[in-house]
Structure 1
């Protein structure tokens, strides 16, 4: 994992984004103290949505029905469909 200063990150922001898009994680420091860690976003799946919906208390029966219908469309997946492979 590469470490750069906040000044360097600001000056080379486009290069920083290119590195992150390639999968690199970067720690940004200010005054020799780490203040941020940047990396590619975590890919979300139907399982993430299902887990998020699991903890929601429905405000009414219609909402509960809508959540149940949405969950019915979620299919367990063995691979990430957004992976492109």
Structure 2
């Protein structure tokens, strides 16, 4: 893992992003203290969502109706979006 000062990261931001895009994680320091790690964004999948939902109660029919009503209330929308604000 490579380390850069905050000043260096600022001056060479494009290079930093190139390294991260290539899979590298960079530690950013300020005054000899580690302040951040910048690494590749993790790609999220359906498996991630399923794992996050383990142990939660599935929504009931009222939830589905509430969401459908909310969507119906603004799609399609015509007119002044600021009216009544």
TM-score (norm 1): 0.64
Structure 1 vs Structure 2 CA RMSD = 1.8
Matches for 1:8-19 after TM superposition, within 5 Å: 8-19=8-19
Matches for 1:1-85 after TM superposition, within 5 Å: 1-57=1-57, 61-62=60-61, 63=63
SS of 1:28's partner is strand
Deviations 1:17-75 (A, max 9, x none): 011000011000000110001110122121111122234445x62237xxxxxxxxxxx
Aligned length: 63
Q: Distance in 2 between matches of 1:48 and 1:14?
A: 30
Gaps of 5+ in 1: 65-85
Report the structure number with the largest CA radius of gyration: 2
TM-score (norm 2): 0.64
SS of 1:27's partner is strand
